[in-house]
């Protein structure tokens, strides 16, 4: 199986001690967000986990214990943008802290295992097209020796994100504007020897050198683990998403980054009330087992193909 850590929250930044405890114990609990009394127990031994995909904006807290990942295959999706604290209020300074952190992580585990994410892209009176081009260029030049790929996407104006961005006066981009900005990004990425892909975008940018990408990427995972996977497209994601199936480890409304565009956190008060239940020793992230809860062991298997193909 592929373990997603996590689309719902920044585990490396805020819950890395909990995560390492879960690895040590060999399992975790996760609550079904659509049926809150249903809890799955998921085994995460080295024999079952083919690869771990980490999603983070600041992996610093996790980096000092990376040796505890020995025996697991993994890579990081590292979001690094040019936004200030009006958009990403709880992140350290990008130029002086986060770019050096990205470079250090890459030096520790290899540039093929740290994917740069410049997303989501939103446009308003402060964060103009020109601003994004300048920001993307500076970051790309800083990371040219530290990553092989950048992933971009445009902000999706869901009802929840609209509420959190209500005072930012975000402009809805026209396709011509998307293509113009993407063309500049593709040029800058190429100049810095960085492959560029899009994430779950309806717009087709193949003609300017930007392919539809996969964050949980079968090809990359197979390169990292050195063998083939038997896998399927993740049917729980959007139609445009190219990710293969994974098991999600995180919990909604637990991320303290406070990013205004986030779809996984409904509001600040909900996050504050949820994180009060954080217990580094609990098998459940930011939660307690209550009356009526049912815990069921989820059957998980390795997806590694052990039988040699005629074409291998």
Asked whether the predicted pLDDT for residue 195 surpasses 90, the reply is: yes
Closest CA to 242 of 251, 231, 253, 256: 231
Asked whether the predicted pLDDT for residue 16 surpasses 90, the reply is: yes
Q: Can you tell me the mean pLDDT for 104-123?
A: 97
Long-range contacts from 123-128, C-beta under 8 angstroms, 24+ separation: 123/170, 123/171, 123/173, 123/177, 124/168, 124/169, 124/170, 124/171, 125/169, 126/86, 127/82, 127/83, 127/87
Asked whether the predicted pLDDT for residue 174 surpasses 50, the reply is: yes
pLDDT at 307: 57
pLDDT digits (tens, 9 = 90+) for 224-272: 999 999 988 877 777 778 899 999 999 999 999 999 999 888 788 999 9
Asked whether the predicted pLDDT for residue 14 surpasses 90, the reply is: yes
Q: Sorting pLDDT into bands at 50, 70 and 90, what band is 310? A: very low
Q: How far apart are CA 78 and CA 111, in angstroms?
A: 12
User: In DSSP terms, which residues pair with 52 in a beta bridge?
Assistant: 3, 74
**138: number of Cβ within 10 Å:** 15
Q: What is the dihedral of CA 113, 22, 29, 261, to 10 degrees?
A: -40
pLDDT at 311: 43
Closest CA to 148 of 70, 241, 217: 217
The average confidence (pLDDT) of the chain is: 93
Q: What is the CATH number of domain 2-297?
A: 3.20.20
Q: Delimit the domains of the chain by residue range.
A: 2-297
């Amino acid at each position: 199986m592929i373990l997603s850590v996590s689309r719902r929250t920044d585990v490396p930044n805020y819950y890395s001690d909990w995560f390492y405890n879960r690895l040590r114990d060999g399992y975790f609990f996760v609550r079904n967000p659509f049926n809150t009394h249903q809890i799955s127990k998921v085994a995460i031994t080295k024999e079952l986990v083919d690869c771990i995909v980490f999603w983070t904006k600041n992996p610093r807290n996790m980096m000092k214990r990376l040796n505890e990942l020995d025996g697991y295959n993994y890579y990081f999706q590292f979001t690094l943008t040019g936004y200030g604290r009006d958009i990403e209020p709880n992140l350290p300074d990008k130029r002086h802290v986060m770019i050096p952190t990205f470079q250090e992580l890459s030096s520790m585990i290899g540039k093929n295992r740290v994917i740069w994410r410049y997303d989501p892209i939103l446009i308003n009176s402060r964060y103009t097209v020109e601003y994004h081009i300048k920001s993307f260029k500076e970051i790309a030049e800083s990371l040219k020796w530290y990553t092989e790929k950048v992933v971009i996407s445009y902000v999706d104006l869901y009802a929840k994100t609209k509420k959190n961005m209500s005072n930012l006066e975000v402009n809805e981009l026209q396709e011509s504007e998307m293509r113009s900005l993407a063309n500049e990004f593709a040029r800058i990425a190429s100049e810095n020897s960085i492959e560029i892909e899009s994430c779950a975008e309806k717009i087709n940018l193949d003609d300017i050198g930007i392919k539809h990408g996969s964050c949980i990427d079968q090809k990359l995972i197979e390169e990292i683990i050195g063998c083939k996977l038997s896998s399927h497209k993740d049917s729980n994601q959007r139609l445009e998403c190219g990710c293969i199936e994974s098991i999600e480890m995180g919990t909604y409304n637990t991320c303290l980054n406070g990013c205004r565009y986030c779809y996984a956190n409904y509001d600040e008060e909900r996050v504050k009330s949820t994180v009060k239940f954080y217990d580094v020793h609990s098998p459940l992230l930011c939660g307690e087992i209550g009356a009526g809860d049912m815990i069921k062991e989820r059957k998980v298997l390795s997806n590694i193909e052990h039988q040699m193909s005629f074409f291998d």
